[in-house]
Amino acid sequence: MDKNEIAPHVKEIARVLEGKVEESKIEEELENYLNVYRVSLDTAKRSVVKSFGGDPNALGKEAPRKIADIKGGEASVDILAKVVTVNPKEIPGTDGKPAKQIVYGIVADDTGSMSYTAWDPSRFQARPGDVVLIKNGYTREYNGRVDLNLGSRAIVEQRPKDDMQGGEMSIRSSYSAGPVKVCELSDGMNNVTVSGRILSVERREVPTEDGPKVVFSGILEDDTGRVQYSAWHDFDLKPNEVVKITNGYVKSWKGVPKLNFGEKATVNRLRIEDLPELNRGKPKPRTIMDIEKVGGATDAVVEGTIVDVREGSGLLKRCPQCKRVVQKGACLLHGKVNGTDDLRTKAVLDDGEASMAVIFNRAVTESVLGLTLEDCKRRAQEAMTTDVIKEMIEEKILAMPMSVRGNVLKDDYGLMMIVSEASFVNVDVKEEATKLLTKLEGFQ
């Protein structure tokens, strides 16, 4: 085995030995067992651990979880994290019982952060900045946020700070974002401050572990875009008022960041004059790379060139019940159906740095083509094939610079925008050529 193959096993042995032995010594000893004594990897690892006074049975146990992967309602959770805040608190006693001391705060790793509560402070002796391995915690979800609880079974072990190497910047941004623009919101952010205009407010009731909870949802916008929000406390929000939200946090759905804020948040009313950029109307164009970094976007504007028109574009039929595309007269869910006619475009937009899939619905496709659905049906009948509509779409948009606007989702295949508006961009060839020459000169 070469050094790259051995490295993760050296790390595992170092973890079992709790950092008491240098990794270089572990690597030397492990190579000796493998290359001189010619024993199996498992035997070599157990022998190395034993030779340094460790417990071989600790090998192979499940590695700590990442914070982003932890859900509510889990009974046993192990995480390796950095302690961000430590806050002692006294809970008043009731019915003659004495007051109870607890500790609460925030821990973070390179995937996100979460609140914790240690119900026995003697089990949590860490300070801000410490790296700890927390074992046997349990989680609960409250107001859409997953909280870690440390009860009588919990174990908190101090770990070397090197155990969190490589993720310091990510950790810092995940737990303490401070003032951010809507376009900068990403999954796992905490303590965010966002200013913008409330576009809509909807009151709804959602089930939680503690029973039904009223939540206020809607859309908030600033000059960089829009974001869906959920207020888990009644802040008496009203459409069109301008607000500054402090101590919010971000969770994503299908890659789209969503802003959440509850009782610990504050909402201050602002004057429209405090945010003059809100009067610009259409959000600023964003790059695909910027959206990729945060995972998705609500109501984003992207400019680029259509580089491909995919199969499935043009005329099609949909199931009247579930709206799925009908293939050969049959719906995957409802079998044989009389499909309803529809029109769509599936394409790829490239902005020079990255690309993403874009989906135009009937209205957007009609707008781009300058033809209605009935026009397209008539032309397909004249040509005796629906392929003619896909060819028309290709002739109209392929290799053309366009501006698209809509929600950007993310799945295993990458980013995909559900386009609500699309238009052609008039390019100043001379200006673009000058920009390109300037850019090329920078590489000389």
Any idea what the CATH number is for the domain that residue 90 is in?
Answer: 2.40.50.140
Per the structure, the complete domain to which residue 26 belongs is given by: 3-58
Q: What's the pLDDT tens digit per position in 332-353?
A: 888 999 999 999 999 999 998 8
The pLDDT, as a whole number, for residue 167 is: 47
Q: Is residue 292 domain-shared with residue 420, that is, in the same domain?
A: yes
**Is 293 part of a structural domain of the chain?**
yes
Q: Is residue 307 part of a domain?
A: yes
Shared domain check, 389 and 344:
yes
| 80 in the same domain as 21 | no
Q: Do 206 and 238 belong together in one domain? A: yes
State both tokens at 207: 């089930």
Whether residue 265 is found in the same domain as residue 386: no
pLDDT at residue 155, rounded to an integer: 85
Of 40, 58, 76, the residue at which a domain comes to its end is: 58
Q: pLDDT tens across 154-212, in order?
A: 888 888 877 775 444 445 444 455 688 888 888 778 788 999 999 999 999 988 777 88
Same domain membership, residue 103 and residue 45: no
| pTM of the shown model | 0.59
Q: Does 113 lie in the same domain as 152?
A: yes
Within a domain: 156: yes
Same structural domain, 134 and 247 = no
Give the mean pLDDT of 114-128: 86
Report how many domains make up the chain.
Answer: 4
- Same domain, yes or no: 104 and 127: yes
